[in-house]
Structure 1
Amino acid sequence: MFALMQSTRTHSLHLCVDPATGLKAVIAIHNQRLGPAMGGCRYLPYPDDDTAMTDAIRLAQGMSYKAALAGLPLGGGKAVIIRNPHVENRAALFEAFGRFVDSLEGRYITATDSGTSTLDMDCIAQSTRHVTSTTTAGDPSPHSAMGVFAGIRATAMARLGTDNLEGLRVAVQGLGNVGFALAEQLHAAGAVLLVSDHDPGRVQLAMEQLNALPVASEALVSTPCDIFAPCGLGPVLNSQSVMQLRCAAVAGSANNQLTHLQVADQLETRGILYAPDYIINSGGLIYVALTHQGQDLGTITAHLARIPTRLTEVFAHAQAEKSSPARVAQQLAEKLVYNA
């Protein structure tokens, strides 16, 4: 684990066990040069402890890059709680996690993520003030989707020469809170939706409400479309899956879409434009960060509007440098995060 921390330049890793509630939690703080570390808390059934710690570390690094490129005075952090199949008191568990967050004395600010809700954040808020995404602050998912939708339009303009999504085939992989909200916006813009999700109920809802066409999860990557939008969990783009893609661009809300940076080079070689995940999906972080600072909705909306501009700049730099957008985005982020 120390090797991974060194390779990702992660500052610290914090572990907590609370036998009374069954809490087993990890908080990774990647960097605090620009400000306190902020990042969501995942509540998932990890197969083992190492996988949970690895997830926290890699996600925290992405949060540092995301905050820096979004122009936020924040560092990157991430928390994961290893989900037990049998939890007697969920509220008590999250209150215990709140005490864990509070012990870091403001170095880490938590928020919702996969498996957690605004109600869980309310429980955390019983033990610490270093939390956002409460029911009062609001769910960041719609704002994440807004940013991704704007980013898809910018990506379409860069790759297809138009930001009009009418009739474009968009494959949405994952219909969680962000994925479904994105699908709703794409449908309203006239896009043809191809969707997959492990929950058949979510797929059925998309079929009924959005005229979406269902595709088996394992087949969506190779389904012909204009834009492939990964909106689920974990890295979906690897050396094998990239060769199966039949799209013009990849632009979605998922974190850590690439298994490694060389995959971005493969996409570039194949002529598939890649929208770096920690730029296009920064809307949720922007919302929770500015809400935590007490900013109004107008200020937040104006900040969200910068996402497509930043993407367009990265696309232009990548074209000029004959590099992949992912490499350009990483270089820009590292200059900001590490003061290189």
Structure 2
Amino acid sequence: MTAFWTEPDFDDHEVVHVVRDRNSGLMAIIALHSTHLGPGAGGTRFWHYPDPKDGLRDALRLSRGMSYKNAMAGLPMGGGKAVILADEARTKTPELLAAFGDAVEGLGGRYVTAEDVGISEADMVAVSKRTSHVSGLPAPGEGSAGGDPGPFTAIGIYQGIKAAVRHKLGKDSVQGVHIAVQGTGSVGGGVARLLAKDGAKLTLADIHADRAAALAEELGAKAVAADEIMTLPCDVLSPNALGAILDEDSIAKLDTAIVAGGANNQLARAHHGKTLFDRGILFAPDYVINAGGIISVATEYLARRDGVSAGVEEVHQRIANIPERLEEIWSKSDETGTPPDVVADRMAQELIGRG
């Protein structure tokens, strides 16, 4: 692995911690981008990377995104992310999770972890046996904050899509609006179900074609092959799978008015936001629209840390601010002729003391 500070995605990160535990087979990267507002908070991704450099790239990009996400959500948390470099068989053992928990504990509270791709609520419970700096744990009681953050991420994205439809299409409802949803897992599936209740016309795709087909049948939607969704004529494209999907080639083939989804780091490179903007496609900055999950996780963690109770209602109140923040970004973009992603980045950088 090359020196992390020479990577194009290194952004003056405070800590890049490489963890190796031979007994358990753990190889992980924990990146802290900023702790200006509080401990770096962000989930742990468990993924097989044929080239470990891609894992480093993910850790750097995702941790920076978490700094911006937490700041824009008004949370007293910094930005961090962990990536566990899984083997090809994606072997996950109690010993590996314990070693990872020890690594988090070794950072002394500077990093707070939770679920991300490949990591479950049960995995976080296992990690919590080795460190208190963990969230996304089962809710302690009915109506309490806690548990899988995925459904809360979906709620924020759903509300953000409705805001985008109002701003770009001038419609107060998604009834009959054609929305193409890429990814039908916990988040994408949740978004699709919420949109279906409002009468949206849905087309779904997933690398697991059977999962997309099953959800399409449940919702009365249409399923297409994974390689078709990005070029499908639609009103809204909602990417809810992995990131870096928007580059020169893919943007040129888009046939949509809006891109609004929960995938992290959708822009392959920073300048691709302008490419979208120049095409007249409204973009919802991903770290703003997908903040529902971290809002849930942070609310849970801060309440437990401070010995107070926090309810789901508080989480929903914070998530309700997502459309307002997006509208602020789009309005400034309209006024200044600046792409929304640039407007959002500048706002976030001011908040974390890097403006």
Instruction: Please indicate, yes or no, whether the TM-score normalized by the shorter chain is above 0.5.
Output: yes
* 1:335 matched residue in structure 2: 350
SS of the counterpart of 2:232?
A: coil
Tell me the equivalent position of 1:195: 204
Which of 249, 260, 264 lines up with 1:251 in the alignment? 260
CA contact under 8 A between 2:209 and 2:225: conserved in structure 1? no
- Tell me what 2:83 maps to: 80
Q: CA deviation at 1:35?
A: 0.4
Instruction: Provide the identity percentage.
Output: 39
Q: Indicate the residue corresponding to 1:309 in structure 2.
A: 324
Tell me which of 100, 105, 108 is aligned to 1:105: 108
Aligned to 1:37: 40
Q: Check conservation: 1:165, 1:189, Cα contact below 8 A.
A: yes
Residue pair 2:47, 2:90 contacting (<8 A) in 1 also: no
Q: Which amino acid aligns with 1:308?
A: P
SS at match of 2:118: coil
Matched residue SS, 1:27: strand
Q: TM-score, normalization: structure 1?
A: 0.97
Q: What are the residue-to-residue correspondences of 1:19-30 with 2, within 5 Å? A: 19-30=22-33
Deviations 1:50-99 (A, max 9, x none): 11111101100000000011110111000000112347662221111000
| 1:276-314 deviations in Å (ceiling 9; x for gaps) | 001000010101000112222221111110000000000
Larger CA deviation: 130-139 vs 118-127: 130-139
1:92 corresponds in structure 2 to 95
Does the aligned pair in 1 maintain the 2:65–2:287 contact within 8 Å?
yes
Number of residue pairs aligned between Structure 1 and Structure 2: 340
Whole-angstrom distance in 1 between the partners of 2:345 and 2:188: 25
In structure 2, the partner of 1:17 is 20
1:55 and 2:58 correspond: yes
2:248 match: 239
CA–CA separation in structure 2 for the residues paired with 1:209 and 1:144: 21
Quick one: distance in 1 between partners of 2:8 and 2:176?
45
SS of residue paired to 2:322: helix
8 Å contact 1:156–1:163 — kept in the other structure?
Answer: yes
2:311 is the alignment partner of 1:296 = yes
CA 1:6–1:93 in 2, change beyond 3 Å: closer, same or farther? closer
Question: Alignment partner for residue 122 of structure 2, among 115, 119, 122?
Answer: 119
The 1-side partners of 2:210 and 2:228 are apart by 18
CA RMSD of aligned residues (A): 1.3
* Residue 283 of structure 2 is aligned to residue 283 of structure 1: no
Deviations, residues 125-167 of structure 1 (Å, cap 9, x unaligned): 0100000012343000000000000000000000000130001
**CA distance in structure 1 between the partners assigned to 2:330 and 2:227 by the alignment:** 29
Q: Distance in 2 between matches of 1:105 and 1:278?
A: 26
1:154 equivalenced with 2:169 (yes/no):
no
The 1:314–1:88 alpha-carbon spacing in structure 2 relative to 1, beyond 3 Å, is closer
Are residues 258 and 292 of structure 1, via their aligned partners in 2, closer, same or farther at CA, if it must alter by over 3 Å?
same
- The aligned amino acid for 2:189 is F
Q: 1:181 — aligned with what?
A: 190
Letter in 1 for 2:266: Q
Q: What is the rounded CA distance, in whole Å, between the counterparts of 2:91 and 2:173 in structure 1?
A: 50
Separation (CA, whole Å) in 2 of partners of 1:219 and 1:239: 17
Give the drift of 1:5.
Answer: 7.3
SS for the counterpart of 1:25 is strand
Gaps of 5+ in 1: none
Give the counterpart letter for 1:206 in structure 2: L
Does the CA-based 8 Å contact 2:184-2:206 persist in structure 1? yes
For normalisation by structure 2, the TM-score amounts to 0.93
- Secondary structure of 1:311's counterpart equals helix
Tell me, in whole angstroms, the C-alpha distance in 2 between the residues paired with 1:221 and 1:87. 28
Residue type at the aligned position of 2:328:
E
Q: Report the secondary structure of 1:81's partner residue.
A: strand
Task: Give the 3 Å change call, closer, same or farther, for CA 6–40 of structure 1 in structure 2.
Answer: closer
Retained in 2: the 8 A contact 1:23–1:81? yes
* Residue 166 (structure 1) aligned with residue 167 (structure 2): no
- Amino acid aligned to 1:266: T
CA distance in 2, matches of 1:309, 1:224: 28
> How many Å separate the matches in 1 of 2:231 and 2:88?
34
8 Å Cα contact 1:170-1:194 kept in structure 2? yes
CA 1:88 to 1:166, structure 2 compared with 1: closer, same or farther past 3 Å? closer
